[in-house]
């Protein structure tokens, strides 16, 4: 499906997205999903997974502020999604900073996410390569992580999306780049985490590669529009939410290279 059709489907279908995300991202992720036209629910308790995950259009998991109870929820939810063919998206935030996080990211990867989205340092390090990541912020170029993305996509049968100045997406065979956005985007915390949540909404409505590509394009279009009005990172955030809601389906194809 082409990206513009998927944006229309997201708005028409208003998919319910189960988000297990971090404390930093919780609010902006929910607002981004709503502004784009879908329905987020932040549900973290292990006791709720069996009831909730099966009724959702997609699941998204972000390990940004990991702890043991949340880790149990993540594994249970991803296992449920995998068993029921519910699309699910993994955001391996800063997984290289500790053995605990690294093991959790690899355990989740083995549960076959439909899409993995991360910055260049996060994708590079998933293959075991040493990168220059600084906590949740990237220290590597998108180009440097492309080989890792292709290898991971082929090994795990998943779509890998790397975000940065120019985004890159691959399923191991096909690839695309997405241009635009603004250097203010990485200055707003958890915007990438919020994008992962939105990718769940797109994955609920269409095939994985197309869904990832459409999500990347929607963010780039909205980021470029917000940058024209913003005075700095604070007002950028406000204008970005408005721009996500205002993005026209036909705009998406213009940022795909
Ligand atoms: N220098 C840049 N110029 C244009 N767009 C950018 C730039 N850096 C990031 N972006 C955009 O910002 C969005 C988030 O990507 P980013 O790589 O910053 O995520 P992230 O590092 O996972 O963020 P976080 O962990 O804070 O949630 C994407 O839409 C990406 O295209
Ligand atoms: C800053 C930060 N720390 C853990 S998660 C997060 C949000 C960006 O990934
Ligand atoms: Mg991130």
pLDDT tens for the chain, residues 1 to 257: 888 899 999 999 999 999 999 999 999 999 999 999 999 999 999 999 999 999 999 999 999 999 999 999 999 999 999 999 999 999 999 999 999 999 999 999 999 999 999 999 999 999 998 889 999 999 999 999 999 999 999 999 999 999 999 999 999 999 999 999 999 999 999 999 999 999 999 999 999 999 999 999 999 999 999 999 999 999 999 999 999 999 999 999 999 99
Distance 184 CA to ligand 1 centre (A): 9
Beta-carbon contacts of residue 125 (< 8 Å; ≥ 6 apart): 95, 96, 131, 133
CA-based nearest residue to 6, from 255, 249, 257: 249
Model pLDDT for residues 12-67, shown as the tens digit of each residue: 999 999 999 999 999 999 999 999 999 999 999 999 999 999 999 999 999 999 99
**How far is 57 from 227, CA to CA, in rounded Å?**
32
Per the structure, the complete domain to which residue 250 belongs is given by 3-255
Atom of ligand 1 nearest to the CA of 191: 27
Beta-carbon contacts of residue 234 (< 8 Å; ≥ 6 apart): none
Model pLDDT for residues 84-96, shown as the tens digit of each residue: 999 999 999 999 9
Atom of ligand 1 nearest to the CA of 136: 25
Q: What is the CATH number of the domain that holds 245?
A: 3.40.1190.20
Q: Considering all CA atoms of the chain, what is the largest pairwise distance in Å, rounded to the nearest integer? A: 47
Distance 1 CA to ligand 2 centre (A): 32
* Residue identifier of the C-alpha nearest atom 7 of ligand 2: 190
**How far is 5 from 206, CA to CA, in rounded Å?**
9
Q: Rounding to the nearest 10 degrees, give the CA dihedral for residues 140, 230, 37, 90.
A: 20
> pTM higher than 0.95, yes or no?
yes
Into how many domains does the chain fold? Answer: 1
Pocket of ligand 2 (CB under 6 A): 22, 24-25, 64-65, 93, 136, 189-190, 193
Q: Is 165 in the pocket of ligand 1 (CB under 6 A)?
A: yes
* Main-chain phi, psi angles of 161, to 5 degrees: -115, 120
């Amino acid at each position: 499906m082409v990206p513009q059709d998927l944006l229309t489907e997201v708005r028409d279908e208003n998919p319910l997205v189960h988000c297990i995300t971090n404390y930093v991202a919780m609010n902006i992720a929910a607002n981004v999903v709503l502004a784009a036209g879908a329905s987020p629910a932040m549900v973290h308790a292990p006791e709720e997974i069996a009831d909730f995950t099966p009724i959702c259009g997609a699941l998204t998991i972000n390990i940004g502020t990991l702890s043991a109870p949340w880790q149990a929820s993540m594994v249970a939810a991803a296992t449920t999604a995998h068993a029921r063919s519910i699309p699910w998206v993994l955001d391996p935030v800063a997984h290289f900073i500790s053995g605990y996080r690294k093991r959790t990211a690899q355990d989740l990867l083995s549960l076959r996410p439909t899409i993995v989205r991360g910055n260049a340092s996060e994708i590079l390090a998933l293959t075991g390569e040493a990168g220059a990541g600084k906590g949740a912020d990237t220290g590597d170029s998108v180009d440097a992580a492309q080989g890792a993305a292709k290898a991971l996509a082929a090994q795990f049968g998943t779509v890998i999306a790397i975000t940065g100045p120019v985004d890159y997406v691959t399923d191991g065979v096909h690839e695309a780049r997405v241009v635009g956005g603004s250097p203010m985007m990485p200055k707003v915390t958890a915007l990438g985490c919020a994008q992962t949540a939105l990718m769940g909404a797109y994955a609920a409505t269409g095939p994985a590669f197309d869904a990832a590509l459409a999500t990347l394009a929607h963010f780039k279009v909205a980021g470029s529009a917000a940058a024209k009005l913003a005075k700095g990172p604070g007002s950028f955030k406000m204008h970005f939410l408005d721009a996500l809601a205002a993005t026209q389906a036909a705009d998406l194809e213009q940022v795909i290279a």
